[in-house]
Chains A and B, each alone.
Chain A
Amino acid sequence: MRLAGRDPILEVERVELRFGGVKALSQVSFSVPEGSITAVIGPNGAGKTSLFNTISGFYRPQAGTIRFAGETLDGVAAPERAARGLARTFQNIALFRGMTVLDNIKLGRHAHMRTNLLDALVYWGRARREEMELRAEVEERIIDFLEIQHIRHAAVGTLAYGLQKRVELARALAMRPRILMLDEPVAGMNREETEDMARFILDVKEEWGTTILMVEHDMGMVMDISDHVVVLNFGQVIASGEPRAVQSDEAVIAAYLGAGDVGEIARRIRADAA
């Protein structure tokens, strides 16, 4: 299915992000067509996570604009971006260890709930209604879908890595995403887990109509499921387009070959900065 004709839901225009002397992103521009799966790839330290953090409002870029669903995100605080439908998972799992799986997932809905302090204290009327609706929806649409019924009451700290990643996805789904940003969803997973995750991602797109933007190093998966690929290297977009076209792009191959030793590159960037 090609979606080239669709309007972009997310547009990144000439974004610049610096940390002291390190240029994490320079003149980054690309757009994500609504309803697509777009992958951002690039060697370690290329700036992919920084890009996600900028889009979700955790970092403020020095220049450039990001537009989401036709509206600018300039000056919009992170929680408000989440409320508008920008949901994500994290490269280093960011689950809340003091909560059960169920509560972690429910937490994702925060921005869409209206319960205030008074409602909460008496737990009657709105608070109870919202909580019950949320519980039912989480159970029926998310927990069943991601096949995590058996761990719903478990403490997240006790779960295997793959399951934790799945819970993070569940929490992001509870955020009612219009765009779902996944930072390395299958990193550290075995073949079977990777295939499960790929299936979930495709299902989310098909069944929920959610646009997906993901960072991923697993080229097999990127080639299999994405409609559109953006390649970052040293903070710059060096190629973008359909997976096959990108795969045979000279600059991309050079970037990946050059990145034979990723640690070395990271060191070089840091040395340049100093």
Chain B
Amino acid sequence: MDALFLAEVMLAGIGSGALYALTGVAFVLIYKATRVVNLAIGEILMLGGYAFLGFAAGLGLPAIAALVLAVVTGGLLGWLVERSLIRPMLGESPISVFMVTIGLGSILVGLVQLGWGADPLRLPEFMPATPVFIGDAYLAPKVAVGFVAAAVVIAAFLALFRFSRSGVALKATAGDQGAAYSVGIDVPRVFSAAWILACATAAGAGVLVGAIGGISPTMGVFGLSVLVVVIIGGLDSIAGALVGGLLIGLVEALAGAFLGGEYKLVVTFTLLLLLLMVRPYGLFGTHEIERL
């Protein structure tokens, strides 16, 4: 086997893995804070891509402004969703809440189709086109930019969780909502903040994903891979999302290169099934003890 080819495939895999990791972190953020499994994360990501298109091509704004506005749009959506759909479901069964997010995903897909039609579209070029070489291996410049951007955002998140007051509040809320309340943490605000941050992140990831592969109303299936990522990592583990993201990125790239593109999903899901048999709560997830 050609070692250089393998290296290039793996580089590309790590590149897209970083975007999985980034979206995975957004997913975990919501789960940790609110115990909501947000299946609409892929659609929120898609909306980020379309918002960028709207601001950049539609309104003719410069790429940077469009990117910022797309992220802000994601945040606003997160705020709105948390307020209007998630908060009324407080205390309902997790299954109901998770179905609400499925419904939300469907609404977003329909809205995007209504606005931009069902056909795939390209985002205006805004990334550098100079080829990137790591050693001898070629890496598509967009993928490299995506990787760096994802890495920076994830690092910022980690710093935020570790060193800021809001990070502590989040951790406390994730541990025990009741206890967090009683020590004076504004739990509803933590909920809101988690949704805003996560949806903004997902929207930003959508711009990166869209810049690399184009956008379409079906790009929400990206969320399916993210789901695999967070399940493999463990729903409540940021580290798990990182490891899982890179792992799935790699596996998909390898499967795509050596078996064919249509093998990607089936390989990752088979991996997922096997893992669930051995470790039902993912690599790093915690599971609760049951008592009678």
Mask, B279-292, CB within 8 Å of A = 1, is 00000000000001
Number of A-B residue pairs at CB separation under 8 A: 6
A58 to B292, CA, bound (A): 8
A90 proximity list for chain B (CB < 8 A): 292
Chain A residues with CB under 8 Å of chain B are 49, 53, 58, 90, 92, 94
A94 to B291, CA, bound (A): 11
A7 to B130, CA, bound (A): 89
In the complex, 6 of the A-B residue pairs with CB atoms within 8 angstroms, ordered by the A residue number, are A49-B292, A53-B292, A58-B292, A90-B292, A92-B292, A94-B292
A94 to B290, CA, bound (A): 14
A94 to B292, CA, bound (A): 8
A58 proximity list for chain B (CB < 8 A): 292
For chain B residues 249-292, which have a beta carbon within 8 Å of chain A? 292
B292 proximity list for chain A (CB < 8 A): 49, 53, 58, 90, 92, 94
A53 proximity list for chain B (CB < 8 A): 292
Residue of B nearest to A88 (CB): B292
Mask, B24-47, CB within 8 Å of A = 1, is 000000000000000000000000
A92 proximity list for chain B (CB < 8 A): 292
Mask, B183-227, CB within 8 Å of A = 1, is 000000000000000000000000000000000000000000000
A23 to B68, CA, bound (A): 57
A112 to B292, CA, bound (A): 23
Residue of A nearest to B289 (CB): A19
The 5 closest A-B pairs by CB, nearest first: A53-B292, A58-B292, A90-B292, A94-B292, A49-B292
A94 proximity list for chain B (CB < 8 A): 292
**Chain A's nearest CB lies how many Å from the CB of B154?**
34
A53 to B292, CA, bound (A): 8
A92 to B291, CA, bound (A): 10
A92 to B292, CA, bound (A): 8
**Chain A's nearest CB lies how many Å from the CB of B169?**
26
**Chain B's nearest CB lies how many Å from the CB of A17?**
13
**Chain B's nearest CB lies how many Å from the CB of A69?**
23
Residue of B nearest to A49 (CB): B292
**Chain A's nearest CB lies how many Å from the CB of B153?**
38
A53 to B291, CA, bound (A): 9
Residue of B nearest to A94 (CB): B292
A49 to B292, CA, bound (A): 9
Residue of A nearest to B290 (CB): A58
Residue of B nearest to A92 (CB): B292
**Chain A's nearest CB lies how many Å from the CB of B96?**
15
